[in-house]
Amino acid sequence: MIQKINLTFCFLACYTGMLFYMLAGCATPEPPAPYGAIPTPYQIEWQQMEYYMFIHFGPNTFTNVEWGDGKENPKVFNPTNLDCRQWAATAKAAGMKAIIITAKHHDGFCLWPSKYSTHTVRESAWKDGKGDVLKELSNACKEYGLKFGVYLSPWDQNHPHYGSPEYNQVFSNTLDEVLGSYGHVFEQWFDGANGEGPNGKRQVYDWDLFHKTVFRHQPHAIIFSDVGPGCRWMGNERGVAGETNWSTMNVAGFTPGHGAPATKILNSGEIDGKTWVPAETDVSIRPGWFYSPETDEQVKSLTKLTDIYYTSIGRNSNLLLNVPPDRRGRIHPNDSARLMEFCRVIDETFAVNLAQGATIKADNTRGRSSIYGTKNLTDGIFDTYWATDDENLSATIEIDFRNEQTFNRLMLQEYIPLGQRVKGFCVEYWDGSAWKHVDRQTTIGYKRILRFPTITAPKLKIHIEEALACPVLNGLGIYKASD
């Protein structure tokens, strides 16, 4: 009897142990811990916008210069048929998500009737001085479901206080007016231009004051400058972000303008950057930033715009494309037509993701759990992702189309709420007898798109060769562009 009880006890103990082991094996693994600097929710929302319009508009539009000197007669600003709804409709049809306007450029001319300046639309001939471009544009953006942003240059070649201690408060007051009067502002655009004012002096900008003013009115605004804090200039106006592009950078000790980091750092970020400052690529659709009739036939070609798309959005950067209104106050038909062609090419290229019908396998999946499986790479849901175990800093993903497919674009996305991790990867395709090299690159970030000669193959393989922490990807796309 005692032996029977002992056998029963041993059986129950073994069964309980096996059950515990099985349950432990089925437990959901912990998600990856964030690595390094990470974006705020508002930076993530900003990055997802990807593409929006820049508007350079002011006296320079009518004087045929790029940088006015603040001495122009404000009466020169007199658009004959200004229509901000046309701007917004054009941006919307082009696939853009927002418009940022030069509310005040270096000449000091204000596109709203500022009480802190005598160089404004109030002194212009337009609408007998009763107009307000910012009001019309912010309303048009709301109507068309676009976000609204503003550029205000701290350099002011007209204001008599520029170059004196009083001017910083004057500029803060102009920020107060703009950021407190026209609804939500998604991005405040600062550059570091700092030339002489009317008194021959340069201003020592109080960036702390300016930033505090922005955040007092728009606490979620992305502030653009050479060093952010929301996003950074990527070092040129050609539309070319670095092939290596980290969204992190070390900003301590630097300021916008003359005190900015080296151009190479702006272009590529820094692998060990302590601050999340993603890149924004600003470039104009014309040779200059402001409209001039001489450039009506010099709008960038479709091929050039497409190249810019891949060297900006395709390299972990947002694209801010300048489209300057003409002297009527409307986007010129040449610019508009090119924007529609560009939109059509991009939409057609990325309409069909060949990876969605494929079998995708990885040589490591976090905890062997489907929660972190490869199905997340093509489900179109931002917050689901494939990840490896913490100790796996390299991995291979194989895409099996089952039948031959023809393609020439590859899109990869990291799940940036957990940081930027991938340091190097390569791509291969199966030619029926061996794996053949396609490309080898460095960073991925929010979005990386590779272009390569057209391939027809049944399989594609992605090797993540080196990462700073376990790889975490939430997007994979394979496409066939017509070119």
Give pLDDT tens digits for 86-106: 999 999 999 999 999 999 999
Cβ count near 278 (within 10 Å): 28
Show Cβ contacts of residue 219 under 8 Å, excluding neighbours closer than 6 positions.
Answer: none
For residue 17, name the pLDDT band (cuts at 50, 70, 90). Answer: very low
Give pLDDT tens digits for 213-223: 999 999 999 99
Which domains can be identified in the chain, with CATH numbers?
41-349 (3.20.20.80), 354-479 (2.60.120.260)
Distance of CA 140 to the CA centre of its chain: 23
Q: What is the pLDDT of residue 9?
A: 38
Q: Is the pLDDT score of 474 beyond 90?
A: yes
Give the whole-angstrom CA distance, residue 324 versus residue 453: 35
30 CB-contact burial (10 Å; exposed 0-12 / middle 13-18 / buried 19+): exposed
Q: Is the pLDDT score of 431 beyond 80?
A: yes
Give the whole-angstrom CA distance, residue 293 versus residue 187: 30
Give the whole-angstrom CA distance, residue 338 versus residue 301: 8
Q: What is the pLDDT of residue 189?
A: 98
Give pLDDT tens digits for 271-280: 999 999 999 9
Give pLDDT tens digits for 140-183: 999 999 999 999 999 999 999 999 999 999 999 999 999 999 99
Q: Is the pLDDT score of 285 beyond 80?
A: yes
Q: What is the pLDDT of residue 378?
A: 98
- Token representation of residue 204: 């020592």
For residue 26, name the pLDDT band (cuts at 50, 70, 90). Answer: low
Q: What is the 3-state secondary structure (H, E, C) of the chain?
A: CHHHHHHHHHHHHHHHHHHHHHHHHHCCCCCCCCCCCCCCHHHHHHHHHCEEEEECCCHHHHHCCCCCCCCCCHHHCCCCCCCHHHHHHHHHHCCCCEEEEEEECCCCCECCCCCCCCCEHHHCCHHHHCCCHHHHHHHHHHHCCCEEEEEECCCCCCCCCCCCHHHHHHHHHHHHHHHCCCCCCCEEECCCCCCCCCCCCCCCCCHHHHHHHHHHHCCCCEEEECCCCCEEECCCCCCCCCCCCCCEECCCCCCCHHHCCCHHHHHHCCCCCCEECCEEEEEECCCCCCCCHHHCCCCCCHHHHHHHHHHHCCECEEEEEECCCCCCCCCCHHHHHHHHHHHHHHHHHCCCCHHHHCEEEECCCHHHCHHHCHHHHCCCCCCCCEECCCCCCCEEEEEEEEEEEEEEEEEEEECHHHCCCEEEEEEEEECCCCEEEEEEECCCCCCEEEEEEEEEEEEEEEEEEEECCCCEEEEEEEECCCC
